[in-house]
Chains A and B, each alone.
Chain A
């Protein structure tokens, strides 16, 4: 894994700890930042991301809410319109469907139409739960990335998680911040001092010359593993971490594909009308013909994710399907 320069203050943190640090530092820096959501206070969040913040910042700023996602999103929106910088937590991205009305028909339109702004962040768990069968495994990022006025972020490393959450809180627009469940315990270097990663910038996580794998979230790690497997076969894979899904870093995608001439996309969530579809489209309609071979998309298969972990693994993006896609574009 590339990219985090070692500095004097660099520490190794989990993804969860990095998110917690982002919230803690932003709350200390800016009294307008408040948190709300189910179990964010006494429990410290269902994924532990808000641990210790109630104790440090008190119940006026860290609000344990009832199970009321529509009210959480609405309250974040109204508070944001009134000058605060709320961060609302959802349990799973499925709950974004309850929040979607506020996000889409209110928050995303306010600036365009009314002079109000809604600088709030809705953040929470997204995507599959390996080994833990059950509901709540979808990744609905593309639904929200479809909507102008929103920003949609899905980090893959602790450093990106921290830096992008800081940027999300400081951004003047509504932001959907998606934390993929398999990543919470992933460790990585996080720079000391202020850590800001710009929204809207993809990052090459590993360079390559033969094929670009454009990916996001936990699939970045799957792509890096694929890169190692393919290196043994003499194929050089470039891993491009999209990091932000809206606004999408079209320039970085085209620049990478201009180098490699081949494209595979990998992400959770359905590929049709999905993240991969958008990535392929922005290469296909670019000013130049960049592809030497047809692009391939790897996403969740076009069905629903079974509860059984064994069955789910077949439906979700996996090594086998990534390898098939790379093989196909390499011809």
Chain B
């Protein structure tokens, strides 16, 4: 599974998270699953909602495992399918819901697509719909962490589709030659919208490309949250000690279409059904129950609590006033930062 310069075997054994962390990961998996299921339902119901939401249902373990491996002060650039990152980092649900309903308090106040929006106070970096662009800006963020000796590391996440951009090549090589403190995570859900990744690349594992940049690369089961956690954790430690970037490919599959507006008619039905049997949330639930860390009752309570939070956020967001219009738009949307020549 590993390319020539491999991530060490320590990742397989990995640091063992304590029960408290295991339960937190379970909660985050449940929250992400429930939040996005709610969103999918709202969009499917034909409510007027803002934006072409990119659901991560089925892929939740990657965001949850990666975020658990970071310190709160570390920085992370989600992929365009990044809701799990927003939730794990503690973005208020009402801010996200407010964006869907075009209300005051929306993330970035409705000025940046909600599935790309940075949340600076939570260390969530900006990206755009220009796939791969988030990687190179994250490389710059990592360069600054190194220069300023902050001790922080950066995680940049992107889908399999984005690995075929020029940005990916330039960003990976730049991170590698400067040995920057960055971990690049590919969420390989096997499709770029409708196009199977296997139909447009000749390599079996996208992580094998790491060898071309002289950095460690590894392909792992992205639906195994503990495997993701341990692998990212090891890469974070490597980055923090100044040993440079790691490329981690997490294999997964999305349950739904590429976006809430994607009819998703081109992926085989059998494949989709099989993926639901490899559900990362159910797998982790079963594992924790087997370990005796989680009881059935406790799990049900988690689900109920998550749904209650989500429903409350929905109701509160709907009660917010719409984003205000009127007045001078240029005064509201100043394109320039003040200060100028200091």
Contacts and interface: CB of A to CB of B under 8 A. Distances in A.
A29 B187 CA distance: 43
Interface stretch (A59-67, A261-269, A321-329): A59-67
Contacts of B133: 74, 101-102, 105-106
A85 to B, nearest CB: 10
A199 B342 CA distance: 12
B112 interface: yes
B140 A66 contact: no
Q: How would you classify the secondary structure of chain B's contact residues: helix, strand, loop or mixed?
A: helix
Contacts of A148: 335-336
B341 A171 contact: yes
Interface stretch (A75-83, A130-138, A235-243, A297-305): A75-83
18 contacts: A66-B177, A68-B173, A69-B170, A71-B173, A74-B136, A74-B139, A78-B140, A79-B143, A81-B140, A81-B144, A86-B140, A106-B130, A106-B133, A113-B112, A114-B118, A116-B120, A173-B340, A198-B341
A291 interface: no
Contacts of A112: 111, 333-335
Given A74-B171, A115-B120, A173 B336 contact: yes
A108 interface: yes
Interface string A133-162: 000000000000000110100000000000
B140 A80 contact: yes
Contact of B128 (A34, A106, A167): A106
B147 A34 contact: yes
A112 B331 CA distance: 11
Interface size class of B (residues with CB under 8 A): 35 or more
A84 interface: yes
Contacts of B136: 70-71, 73-75, 77-78, 102
A253 to B, nearest CB: 20
Interface string B114-154: 00011010000110111001011111111111011000000
Contacts of B142: 78
Interface of B: 108-109, 111-112, 117-118, 120, 125-126, 128-130, 133, 135-145, 147-148, 166-167, 170-171, 173-174, 177-178, 333-342
A109 interface: yes
Nearest to B139: A75
Contacts of A170: 340-342
Contact of B144 (A84, A108, A173, A196): A84
Contact of B140 (A69, A76, A149, A199): A76
Contacts of B108: 113-114
A119 interface: yes
Please indicate which of the listed interface residues B109, B111, B336 has the most CB atoms of chain A within 10 Å of its own CB.
B336
Given A102-B136, A113-B108, A199-B340, A84 B167 contact: no
Given A79-B141, A81-B141, 19 more contacts: A34-B147, A68-B170, A71-B170, A73-B136, A76-B140, A77-B136, A78-B142, A79-B147, A82-B140, A82-B144, A82-B145, A84-B147, A86-B140, A105-B128, A105-B129, A105-B130, A112-B111, A114-B118, A173-B336
A115 B112 CA distance: 11
A70 B170 contact: yes
A198 B341 CA distance: 8
A110 interface: yes
Contacts of A78: 125, 136-144
Nearest to A34: B147
B322 to A, nearest CB: 18
A222 interface: no
A82 B148 contact: yes
B209 to A, nearest CB: 16
B337 A117 contact: yes
Q: Which 6 A-B pairs have the closest CB atoms?
A: A78-B140, A74-B136, A82-B144, A113-B111, A71-B170, A75-B140
A162 B339 CA distance: 20
